[in-house]
Structure 1
Amino acid sequence: MFNFTVKEDEPLEKEVAVDPEMLGKVFENLLEVKDRKSRGAFYTPREIVHYMCQQSLINYLETNTDIPVEDIEKFIHLGDFALDLKSIKENYLKLDRLLKDIKIVDPAVGSGAFPVGMMNEIVKARSVLTVFFNESEQENRTNYNFKRETIENSLYGVDIDSSAVDIAKLRFWLSLIVDESDITEIQPLPNLDHKIMCGNSLLEEFEGVKLFDEELLGEIPKDYSFELEQVDREEQKLNQERREMCTGKKEDKGQSKEIKRELERLKRKRKQIISGPKEDVPQLTLDEAVQKRKRESQRKLKDLKRLQKLFFNEQSRGAKRRYRSEIDRIEWELIKETLREEGNEEAMERLEQYKKNKSKPFFLWKLYFSDVFQRENPGFDVVIANPPYVRVQNLSKQEKEMLKSNYLAATKNFDIYVIFDEMSLYITRKGGTLCYIQPNKFFNSDYGLGIRKILCGSKYLNMIVDFRANQLFSTATTYTCILICRKKENASFRYISFIGNNAAQLFNKFSTGVKIVDGVIDEPVKPENLPHNFWSFNDAKTNKLFEKLEKLSNPLSKYVDSVFQGVVTSADPIYIIEKKKGKFFSKFLQKNIDIESDFVKPLLKGQDIRRYKVRKNKFWLIFPYEVHDNKGRLIIEKQFKQKYSKVWSYLQECEYALRSREKNKMDHSKWYAYVYPKNITQFEKKKILVQVLSRKASFTLDSEGIYYFVGGGNAGGYGIALKEGVNLTYEYTLAILNSILSDFYLQNHSSRFQNGYFSYAKRFIEKIPIKEITHEEQQPFINIVDQILSITKDDDYPDNLEKQVRVEELEKEIDKLVYKLYDLTPEEIAIVENFNKEK
């Protein structure tokens, strides 16, 4: 016996007997995944799955009924405790039919958590409705039958990883049988090969060639099954009433004639529904040969759906083999038909290699799941997932180009989850729901521009639950949100965010429908009020204050020559050395080294850049370049040997490692150069410094152009060089950047990190509003900054409380000057300072 989490939407475990051989196969498949993190796949916490499944179901039922949403929420959240609701009683048939017919897909299915979670919610809801059905109907309304029906009719999944697909299938099977006490009564397990499939969800083409023509789906017939089911139920009730009269169980008070007339009416109604509305026969507008091919393709699609249904329940090995072979043959024939139409049959030869492969570099949604798209209002009712988080740098050049040519969301150095967002809107039916747990970085990142435009322009946004700097994934430093879209025009959407350190507890209450007053932001937002360049979710008064600041000022970018990144050596353990007890130590060689001390440059790491201060550097940089007249060049080998022979000897000791960088990219005569020698002329200039990641503004001034600093990631810094001739001094600019007001602006437009940290990356600091004033008006700021810098440069400053208190007083004076400069009202000052207290 083994403990398995089979209800992914509930924080419970079950003891399940599992065939050890099956577990062995799963384990072998797991070994095929060399690095799950590189695929951007992370396990989703159960509480999140539970909420997302319930919310998706609530949206689906609200869209397709006239039941008040408050009643639907009670029905889904409370189950049996919502049976007294009149709207549920009156609509139980429609609700049951909708729950039976729902189409759900996870396009990055992983281990199957979301489809299984959705199945359990559907089973629970349908079980609640069973009390409204008569006794004979209740016999077949078992949890096992509900699960099997849901798996067959409603659940779909795709993953590029074949081992994940196998695990998802196992999860489905375990979930199907877990509640059954008598194993002998369980039907043979269904075949899931055409429900949970392997492929690349994001691409429907191969090497730029379209593989399936959507026109082959033909005219979509209207679905009258619900109307026919209602007729069936009315006939059953009337026939039951007539039988009771015939057997004397019920007295006939003249109703039998009325029942007969009503049955005749229902018979006519059934005939009318089956025959459908009369329509004019459309005139042929295409070539007869093309029409014939289309009719043939549509016949094949019909056969495909029939075979998939037979295959699902088939247990005979021989029959399964035949069905699978026939399904594959039809699918490939339809692909060939498309390629013939496009005159591109030679692509078929290159595709042959994927015929027997489990995984394909494409996925043809409308072919492989044709039953979902060959219906009225085609597409999925719910698309739900934790899409992979993979930066474009980790994709091949071909993958990157194909995604860029197919998706508007593929902007800048995009992350693949924004592509999943766009693709999923494409496969969602009108009125359907998209529900994703994904990074919130797209709110204000450069690469999020494309998806921000799509979401605002379409007005599909329904709800955003933002976890801000609270981490949900124990195995990844990822800051997430739940993105919910409904594929219809929404005038506004709900923005929900949890404040403080107890966000997890608040969310758990919120997810069960409990009304929370304190510790949560819950505001309606109009999509047109969100600018494309960034999303900042604030109240109306705060947004009005931002508008005021921007109107009175210009962004910092107008006044800077450059905001530049620190040194990226690509071999830090070699180029960055530490000074210990007067001697240089090489981390790479793990020993002290003897080099010319006048060659190395003082190097700051991000944590060395403090507010109005630079911490004494411990590290030094080997900088193999010389800068003259604002131009930099690599020091030639001959000159290096003559002037700095000890440094050259040290580099020679590391030569093999330096030549081997980036797959031997540096195996040439300039092997000792940096791979990416960016900004090498900028460091020995007057500049403002800032560390990339900080709890509050930590800008300082390098007035003599002494310091070099590291770049890359969140551990380094940026330098800010003002344009020559601008009417701004470095001291005035520094005062504004370190002010509470500017920090309030930046932190509301920046990325949040855990433990109260914010990003001070280039794209955020360039937007800070700077008011241009005369040199005379700048003088009060300059005077105070000079005083602060003269105090903080003292060696005893970090331990001298009196000096620290004096600096705080001077900073408050700057803040008052800044409030006056931007003409802030007492109410606006309160907004700024309250934000600073609440962080």
Structure 2
Amino acid sequence: MTKYESAFAEVSILVQDFKENESKYLSPSYSEVEVRKDFIDKFFHALGWDVYHNEQKNPYEQELKIEKGVSIERAQKRADYAFYIAPNFRDVKFYLEAKKPSRNLLNADNYFQSCRYGWNSQTEITFLFDFEELHIIDCRLKPDITTILNNKIKQYHYSDYTDKEIFSEIYWLISREAVANNSLQKFAESLPKPKGKTAQKGLHKGLYQSIDDAFLIELDEIRDSLAKSFKRANPNLESDELTEMTQRTIDRLVFIRFLEDKQIEPEHYVSVFGKSKNAWKDFRNVSRKLDAKYNGVVFKKHFVDSEGFIEPSDKSFTQICDELSHVNSPYNFDIIPIHILGSIYERFLGKVVIATEKRVRIEEKPEVRKAGGVYYTPQYIVNYIVDNTVGKMIEGKTPAEISKFRFADISCGSGSFLITVFDRLLEYHSKWYQDNPAQAKKDGCHLQDEKWILSLKQKQKILTNNVYGVDLDSQAVEVTQLSLYLKLLEDETTATAQDTWVMFKEQLLPNLNTNIICGNSLIGTDILDGQLFSREEELKLRPMDFEDAFPEVMKKGGFDAIVGNPPYVRVHDIDLKPRNYFRDNYLSGIGQFDLYQLFYERAVQLLKDHATLGYITSNKFCVTNYGRPLREWIVSNFTIEKLVDVSLAKVFGSVSTYPYIFLIKKEKTKNSTVEIIELNNEKHFLTKKIIEQSNLLKGDENILTLSFDNKHELVEKIESVANMNSLSVYRGRGTSKDLGTEKKNYSVPAVTNKEISRFAFSKQKYYKNSKQFEIDNDSKILMKKICYVLESAIDENGELNPINTVYVIKSSKNVELKYLLGILNSKLMTFYARTKYEATHLGGGYIELRVFEVEKLPIVDDHDKLISKALIDLVDKILNSKQTLFLAKTESEKEYLENKCISLDRQIDNLVYELYGLTEEEIKIVEST
């Protein structure tokens, strides 16, 4: 009997029982607890889920988590059933909410409650079940109670469960074996595009707005409203003051809502602000009350709490509280993962309040504007780095041994890496105590539902002992502390919090001001010696010495692991004084360096011997001249344990950054090897090869390349038969902003990269001013600066004038341009460029060669006149064919000419292979790349 047949048989028995005793089961006296025990648990046991935990004994590693407490209210806090698939017990696959059969499932409150679970946890569908009926609910759209019943996807009656065809639908959607094979994801992808406002269409293939996008929009609106209201009431407030007080107010509101939804606080506060007389006074009074209980930066007395502060408009603040309250808000802070809140805040911190004499506006920070936005490190990347640093370090250790470790992110931003570090520590301790019950009892854990639970006191100790962070932005430091506090309280309840409050007579949140510090990780106080800084300059720099900031850590040799994604800031965006400091104090501070390079140096300096660094950064330093000192220093002095190419997965969305993950150990071992790993499009980390570290740097420039197979040998052969200095190259002048579409006096035809393809230009449509830029009237080759394969075309008459996204190429040795064009557009030259300069790739596999790299493309001299003449003839033919194709009027003519160009292309490739002396095997390598 198959699993499906067995499940059908077991469920059929349940259906028969329900049918025969329907009046009893539909009676209002038949409770939810009873239907769960009599039917729902048995139903999912039949579908292959370990409902009774007969197999999965460890309570921290169970695929089905069942909530025993039931709260009957629209804003119920926890779903009755949460389903996971091992070994990932962090990310829920789907939620199911149970109800008693006498209650009508098709009810707005039921649907709103269930949809909140799914949407807040980023699961696309969820389920309502009372055994009599099973409802499948679409959670892709932000929940709106007025339209929530439209989210019903499908509804089943219990009589359907004995119809083999219908039961098959259910089984292959939510059985354990189906869910393990991504049935829910496939089902969600098959659903029609949801109907909703344009603003609802966000992530996940453009179908809907995700929780993080939606909540960010709401926070932005709250910030704007608060800032304007504060300014109207207090006209003398300046930009920094407004930025700080709006964030502090928002942080408090979010934290209070978190306490409410987690049921750590038994009262609902936000929904009643203003119900007495004044919403702001209510908010301020609750803040003072919670400060006495919780401590921490969030409720710490602030200027907004003072009597001298004139409160904002009661109407606008009451509206903010009403919309954010548990009654009206679609957000459930019991369900939203803490790291998602972190990602929201990371982007939220990218903007500040700008105040003029009478008005305020919200603007992106200059560095964010230049970067094109805030790019948050995806959680699966954070997980990978933390698991391979902190995770490996604590493996097999006792809590006493772990208490001596110190882990840091020295550019922590909103705290995403530190939240994950803390999460791994809590997870490991919980599992360790489960396996060591005697020590669990001795160390203060308490037993709950046969599971040893860390006390709040233990979690506080883990946080203050093990987790450290630094950031230059005071707002980021505040958010990091907030996020860590949320993580600390994540699994607490009213009872456990009250026990700690009463038993120890201590506030529930530890002071993190000596753990998470606002300061400059790269600049010490020595910058102040002999230089004069204004108050504003010094506050902006915030120089800091780690020996003063973390004296106990540094006395013991430094940190045991540092993780993170340090900021990318080009040298020309750095002020002169810090730029000079970097040049004087860092090996990497040369040429056109980027700030992230300095963080490698600083992090290694701050590590203990044998400690580990885990960073994700741009890989530009692996190939550039200015990155050479850093890559040579790392390879020569330390052990690179893993080097991960993550470019295929586009980890930063549309950003044209080609990132690597470096896992570096602060030690040097002989004959050490490096595990080269690739992250594919499916987000799987695949080991590609293991190579000796001494082979990482290649060529005269010691480029760090990940090509270590026969491809690299072929690159060396191509270089050996060619001349590396046959091309004269410069970059076009001007940008797209300098172009116009109308021809005027002094205007000349212009070209961008978009008009260039292999052997041809598209229709010319831009002009630029000949008096503004130097004009090149010579014959020349124009090459795309950013491309997937090398694409060049020839400007024989010298009429076209490229902008800075195009390279201008001429021969430095009087070689025929068409001969060069044939080689540059060949498969061989694309293979060479993509392999030789692999580390210059951008997101999505595009490449961006620099001028000197184009100049050094290996060109075989045209000494073989027969081959060179044949190549030029073929280039002439393909140029003519491309031009004719451009003018073709019928589909049949276009098809003929396209096929002709394909044939000519192949002939050109074959001639180039012959020019470079490639064998059949070597040609296969090129063709397969």
Structure 2 gap ranges (5+): 1-74, 79-87, 93-119, 122-256, 261-268, 271-286, 288-297, 305-344, 354-361, 446-453, 501-505
Q: Determine the structure 2 residue equivalent to 1:669.
A: none
Question: SS at the partner of 2:704?
Answer: coil
Matches within 5 A, 1:164-179: 164-179=476-491
Q: Please, which of 17, 26, 50 is the counterpart of residue 259 of structure 2?
A: 17
Matches within 5 A, 1:458-477: 458-474=637-653, 476-477=655-656
Matches within 5 A, 1:422-571: 422-474=601-653, 476-490=655-669, 491-499=672-680, 502-504=681-683, 506-507=684-685, 521-531=688-698, 532-555=701-724, 558-560=725-727, 562-568=728-734
Q: Cα deviations across residues 89-127 of structure 1 (Å, max 9, x unaligned)?
A: xxxxx5433322111111111112212211121122122
Q: Determine the structure 1 residue equivalent to 2:177.
A: none
Whose radius of gyration is greater, 1 or 2? 1
Deviation at 1:51, TM superposition (A): 1.9
Q: Determine the structure 2 residue equivalent to 1:195.
A: 515
Q: Cα deviations across residues 404-453 of structure 1 (Å, max 9, x unaligned)?
A: 21111123222211111111111111111111122233333444333222
Q: Cα deviations across residues 651-685 of structure 1 (Å, max 9, x unaligned)?
A: xxxxxxxxxxxxxxxxxxxxxxx4xx5xx25x211
Deviation at 1:351, TM superposition (A): 7.7
Question: SS at the partner of 2:592?
Answer: coil
In structure 2, how many angstroms separate the alpha carbons of the residues matched to 1:720 and 1:822?
A: 21
In structure 2, the CA distance between the partners of 1:143 and 1:530, relative to structure 1 (3 Å rule), is farther
Deviation at 1:474, TM superposition (A): 4.1
In structure 2, the CA distance between the partners of 1:412 and 1:352, relative to structure 1 (3 Å rule), is closer
In structure 2, the CA distance between the partners of 1:397 and 1:101, relative to structure 1 (3 Å rule), is same
Do the aligned residues in 1 keep the contact of 2:640 with 2:693 (CA within 8 Å)? no
In structure 2, the CA distance between the partners of 1:9 and 1:195, relative to structure 1 (3 Å rule), is farther
Do the aligned residues in 1 keep the contact of 2:646 with 2:660 (CA within 8 Å)? yes
Do the aligned residues in 2 keep the contact of 1:9 with 1:49 (CA within 8 Å)? no
Do the aligned residues in 2 keep the contact of 1:732 with 1:782 (CA within 8 Å)? yes
Q: Determine the structure 2 residue equivalent to 1:628.
A: none
Q: Determine the structure 2 residue equivalent to 1:410.
A: 589
Do the aligned residues in 1 keep the contact of 2:645 with 2:661 (CA within 8 Å)? yes
Deviation at 1:30, TM superposition (A): 6.9
In structure 2, the CA distance between the partners of 1:371 and 1:705, relative to structure 1 (3 Å rule), is same
Question: SS at the partner of 1:44?
Answer: coil
Question: SS at the partner of 1:383?
Answer: strand
In structure 2, the CA distance between the partners of 1:354 and 1:606, relative to structure 1 (3 Å rule), is closer
Q: Determine the structure 2 residue equivalent to 1:48.
A: 381
In structure 2, how many angstroms separate the alpha carbons of the residues matched to 1:352 and 1:820?
A: 67
In structure 2, the CA distance between the partners of 1:360 and 1:98, relative to structure 1 (3 Å rule), is farther
Q: Determine the structure 2 residue equivalent to 1:134.
A: 438
In structure 2, the CA distance between the partners of 1:354 and 1:752, relative to structure 1 (3 Å rule), is closer
**AA aligned opposite 2:444:** N
Deviation at 1:152, TM superposition (A): 1.8
Do the aligned residues in 1 keep the contact of 2:351 with 2:364 (CA within 8 Å)? no
Deviation at 1:172, TM superposition (A): 1.8
Q: Determine the structure 1 residue equivalent to 2:428.
A: 125
Question: SS at the partner of 1:770?
Answer: coil
In structure 2, the CA distance between the partners of 1:553 and 1:797, relative to structure 1 (3 Å rule), is farther
In structure 1, how many angstroms separate the alpha carbons of the residues matched to 2:526 and 2:363?
A: 26
Deviation at 1:401, TM superposition (A): 1.7
Q: Determine the structure 1 residue equivalent to 2:165.
A: none
Do the aligned residues in 1 keep the contact of 2:352 with 2:365 (CA within 8 Å)? no
Question: SS at the partner of 2:808?
Answer: strand
Question: SS at the partner of 1:554?
Answer: coil
Q: Cα deviations across residues 36-87 of structure 1 (Å, max 9, x unaligned)?
A: 57156532222222222111124425xxxxxxxxxx5xxxxxxxxxxxxxxx
Is 1:149 the counterpart of 2:240 in the alignment? no
* Larger displacement relative to structure 2 (735-744 or 780-789): 780-789
In structure 1, how many angstroms separate the alpha carbons of the residues matched to 2:781 and 2:544?
A: 51
Do the aligned residues in 1 keep the contact of 2:741 with 2:767 (CA within 8 Å)? yes
Matches within 5 A, 1:221-620: 361-375=542-556, 378-474=557-653, 476-490=655-669, 491-499=672-680, 502-504=681-683, 506-507=684-685, 521-531=688-698, 532-555=701-724, 558-560=725-727, 562-568=728-734, 573=737, 575-579=738-742, 584=743, 595-596=744-745, 599-620=746-767
Q: Please, which of 898, 906, 911 is the counterpart of residue 804 of structure 1?
A: 898
Q: Determine the structure 1 residue equivalent to 2:134.
A: none
Question: SS at the partner of 1:793?
Answer: helix
Q: Determine the structure 1 residue equivalent to 2:196.
A: none
Do the aligned residues in 1 keep the contact of 2:412 with 2:471 (CA within 8 Å)? yes
In structure 1, how many angstroms separate the alpha carbons of the residues matched to 2:349 and 2:910?
A: 66
Deviation at 1:34, TM superposition (A): 4.5
In structure 2, the CA distance between the partners of 1:793 and 1:30, relative to structure 1 (3 Å rule), is closer
TM-score (norm 2): 0.57
In structure 2, the CA distance between the partners of 1:568 and 1:157, relative to structure 1 (3 Å rule), is same
**AA aligned opposite 2:779:** K
Greater relative contact order structure (CA < 8 Å, 6+ sep)? 1
Q: Cα deviations across residues 248-267 of structure 1 (Å, max 9, x unaligned)?
A: xxxxxxxxxxxxxxxxxxxx
Q: Determine the structure 2 residue equivalent to 1:710.
A: 803
Structure 1 gap ranges (5+): 62-71, 73-87, 89-93, 210-343, 508-515, 585-594, 625-673
Deviation at 1:475, TM superposition (A): 7.5
In structure 1, how many angstroms separate the alpha carbons of the residues matched to 2:865 and 2:390?
A: 64
In structure 2, the CA distance between the partners of 1:441 and 1:380, relative to structure 1 (3 Å rule), is same
In structure 2, the CA distance between the partners of 1:766 and 1:533, relative to structure 1 (3 Å rule), is farther
Q: Determine the structure 1 residue equivalent to 2:922.
A: 828
In structure 2, the CA distance between the partners of 1:97 and 1:825, relative to structure 1 (3 Å rule), is farther
Is 1:96 the counterpart of 2:399 in the alignment? yes
In structure 1, how many angstroms separate the alpha carbons of the residues matched to 2:438 and 2:919?
A: 69
Deviation at 1:688, TM superposition (A): 1.0
In structure 2, the CA distance between the partners of 1:475 and 1:760, relative to structure 1 (3 Å rule), is closer
In structure 1, how many angstroms separate the alpha carbons of the residues matched to 2:89 and 2:469?
A: 17
In structure 2, the CA distance between the partners of 1:477 and 1:729, relative to structure 1 (3 Å rule), is closer
In structure 2, the CA distance between the partners of 1:761 and 1:470, relative to structure 1 (3 Å rule), is farther
In structure 1, how many angstroms separate the alpha carbons of the residues matched to 2:515 and 2:905?
A: 63
In structure 2, the CA distance between the partners of 1:462 and 1:830, relative to structure 1 (3 Å rule), is same
**AA aligned opposite 1:443:** C
Q: Determine the structure 1 residue equivalent to 2:908.
A: 814
Q: Cα deviations across residues 367-425 of structure 1 (Å, max 9, x unaligned)?
A: 211111112xx111111111111222221122222112111112322221111111111
Q: How many residues were matched structurally?
A: 565
* Larger displacement relative to structure 2 (700-709 or 472-481): 472-481
Q: Cα deviations across residues 269-320 of structure 1 (Å, max 9, x unaligned)?
A: xxxxxxxxxxxxxxxxxxxxxxxxxxxxxxxxxxxxxxxxxxxxxxxxxxxx
In structure 1, how many angstroms separate the alpha carbons of the residues matched to 2:658 and 2:89?
A: 21
**AA aligned opposite 2:414:** S
What is the alpha-carbon root mean square deviation over aligned residues? 3.2
* Larger displacement relative to structure 2 (777-786 or 748-757): 748-757
Q: Percent identity?
A: 25
